[in-house]
Amino acid sequence: MMTTEVVTPFNEIAAREERFQLATYKKMPVAAARGLGAWVETAEGVRYLDLYGGHAVAATGHCHPRVVEAIRAQAGELLFYSNLVYSAVRARAAEKLVGCAPAPLAKTFFCNSGTEANENAMRMARMKTGREGVVTFTGGFHGRTADAISATFLGKYRELGRPNVPGHLCAEFGSIESVAAVADDTVAAVMLEPIQSMAGVRQAPPEFYQELRELCDERGMLLIYDEVQTGVGRTGEWFFAGSEASAGVVPDVVTLAKALGSGVPVGACLTTDVVASSIRENDLGTTFGGGMLAMAAVTATLEAIEEEGMLANARAVESHLRGRLADVPGVAGVRGRGLLLGVEFDSESAARIHKALLERRIITGTSSDPRVLRLLPPLCLSNGEVELFVEALREICREIF
Ligand SMILES: Cc1ncc(COP(=O)(O)O)c(C=O)c1O
């Protein structure tokens, strides 16, 4: 039988969402219906080049066939059982994830989101050290649940989480002296986004990470990298932890989410055997953490990145993009690593450029720095797709600058 698909007009979708959903996000005027690779499409078939990767999630690209197939197959076997039973699917995902991580990271704890991973990382540090304090940084973002938002010294976020969890101390990103000044013997951990994404893609020199590692070791504190954005290949390496940019430094805990399940909600903490030895049965937990559907997505995501050479691709595309942006009028520089990039302009024009790109059907991200436009595209982005972006940007910038 022939069926005629009835397409709901955009205005109707938007009105319905606004009527029945809290207006907590400033949305783009796009109703996404389908996606493939670096592209998303509306129900009417209008295509957008997604250089924001569905909010830094679609590292394997939208609807990567391998991930979709793994989820489909798992859905027909067993959607979910908690950590109260063993599971071959969970064992495989944990082994694969640890296999991608630098030593001595050797154990995983699965949860459901970035904020939850950070809460558990801080709790692990408190359990390991018997102390309560946590030092985080100006410009860092760690999530919206009570402890994570209390660790977030970026804009208005911390204020939104009042009353804040006690014991959170703030240091200046990039300044080891400021960490040394606040990190007294009540401090269990120093936690940081190794590249601060929302703050406008801010990175410190490798020495800073080295000095942090040394200070943490000296004072008996754990070092936690929040790699919710930088992890899972985003920087052209599996993790910032252990990379050259990190001076080879591996923290005691790495937290992950976003790209880890290609869109199936999943978070994780990776930690060492030494930290793991302080965590006992029932100390940490969450019903949905380690569920089969999410675990199937994790394994397929990591395998897709590995087998399709996406880490090398991210580095090659970064290099191409940097070269092509060099002579675009108004571009003052390109920050970041791999495909976590901040395009910095001469003036506070990122929001205007974001809007103009969207009108040309290219999705990008803004940041809390009004001069910086953020790019977090799928790691399978091609140089041809980069060209579409650079040409559109060049046109827009010629008008503005
Ligand atoms: C660096 C970082 N940490 C933590 C979070 C919180 O993750 P989630 O939204 O999955 O709770 C985010 C979210 O944007 C993030 O960018």
pLDDT digits (tens, 9 = 90+) for 373-395: 999 999 999 999 999 999 999 99
Residue bearing tokens 């990271």: 105
Q: What's the whole-number mean pLDDT along residues 123-150?
A: 98
For residues 339 and 317, the answer to whether their CB atoms sit within 8 Å is yes
Looking at ligand 1, which residue's alpha carbon is closest to its atom 7? 114
Residue 105 clears pLDDT 90, i.e. is over it: yes
3-state class (DSSP) for residue 114: helix
Q: How crowded is residue 386: how many other Cβ atoms within 10 Å of its Cβ?
A: 22
For residues 112 and 288, the answer to whether their CB atoms sit within 8 Å is yes
Summarised one tens digit per residue, pLDDT across range 313-351 is 999 999 999 999 999 999 999 999 999 999 999 999 999
For residues 307 and 166, the answer to whether their CB atoms sit within 8 Å is no
Partners of residue 138 on adjacent β-strands:
153
| Residue 311: pLDDT band with limits 50, 70, 90 | very high
pLDDT of residue 5: 72
For residues 299 and 365, the answer to whether their CB atoms sit within 8 Å is no
Q: Of all atoms in ligand 1, which is nearest to the CA of residue 198?
A: 16
Query: Exposed, middle or buried by CB within 10 Å (0-12, 13-18, 19+), for 33?
Result: middle
Q: What's the whole-number mean pLDDT along residues 11-40?
A: 97
Ligand 1 center–CA 31 separation, angstroms: 23
Looking at ligand 1, which residue's alpha carbon is closest to its atom 4? 142
The pTM score is 0.98
Share of the chain above pLDDT 90, in %: 98
Of 271, 309, 305, nearest to 128 (Cα)?
271
Name the residue of 142, 149, 193, 254 to mutate for ligand 1: max ligand atoms within 8 A of Cβ. 142
Ligand 1 center–CA 197 separation, angstroms: 10
Residue 2 clears pLDDT 90, i.e. is over it: no
Cis check: omega of the bond before 163, within 30 degrees of 0: yes
| Residue 6: pLDDT band with limits 50, 70, 90 | confident
Of 300, 298, 320, nearest to 236 (Cα)?
320
Q: Of all atoms in ligand 1, which is nearest to the CA of residue 55?
A: 14
Ligand 1 center–CA 302 separation, angstroms: 20
Distance CA 372, CA 320 (A): 19
Name the residue of 110, 141, 149 to mutate for ligand 1: max ligand atoms within 8 A of Cβ. 141
| Residue 214: pLDDT band with limits 50, 70, 90 | very high
The continuous run of DSSP H or E covering 321 comes out as helix 310-325
Q: What's the whole-number mean pLDDT along residues 144-154?
A: 98
Looking at ligand 1, which residue's alpha carbon is closest to its atom 13? 143
Looking at ligand 1, which residue's alpha carbon is closest to its atom 9? 114
What is the total residue count of the chain?
401
Distance CA 202, CA 187 (A): 25
Summarised one tens digit per residue, pLDDT across range 35-84 is 999 999 999 999 999 999 999 999 999 999 999 999 999 999 999 999 99
Sheet holding 39-42, edge to edge: 32-36, 39-42, 47-50, 362-363
Distance CA 390, CA 322 (A): 10
Average of per-residue pLDDT values in the chain: 97
Ligand 1 center–CA 193 separation, angstroms: 10
Ligand 1 pocket by C-beta < 6 Å: which residues?
A: 113-115, 118, 141-143, 193, 197, 226, 228-229, 257
Distance CA 92, CA 94 (A): 6
Partners of residue 48 on adjacent β-strands:
40
